[in-house]
């Protein structure tokens, strides 16, 4: 994933056997966005934090909730 890529927000796999898929948030699951910058380190090691333009604003989110749809 790199700046300019088109992504889709998707559920991430569970972190351990008994945990089901994790939702990126009801407002953005299934939505598309454009990667602006990143990755930036995060304490959870969930794919880094990325800045993404989505829903007419710039948000930050973890990379494991994003799937590249089209590379720039």
The whole-number pLDDT of residue 42 equals: 80
Look at strands 32-40 and 6-9 and give their pairing: antiparallel
CB hemisphere CA count around 45 (13 angstroms)? 1
Say how far apart CA 41 and CA 48 lie, in whole Å: 5
Q: In what order do the strands lie in the sheet with 57-62?
A: 57-62, 49-54, 32-40, 6-9, 66-70
Which pTM does this prediction carry?
0.89
Question: Going residue by residue through the chain (72 aa), what tens digit of pLDDT does each one get?
Answer: 999 999 999 999 888 889 999 999 999 999 999 999 999 988 777 779 999 999 999 999 999 999 999 999
């Amino acid at each position: 994933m790199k700046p300019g890529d088109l992504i889709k927000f998707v559920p991430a796999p569970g972190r351990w056997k008994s945990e089901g898929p994790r939702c990126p948030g009801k407002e953005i699951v299934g939505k598309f966005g454009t990667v602006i910058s990143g990755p930036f380190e995060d304490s959870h090691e969930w794919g880094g934090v990325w800045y993404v333009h989505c829903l007419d604003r710039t948000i930050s989110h973890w990379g494991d909730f994003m799937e590249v749809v089209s590379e720039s």
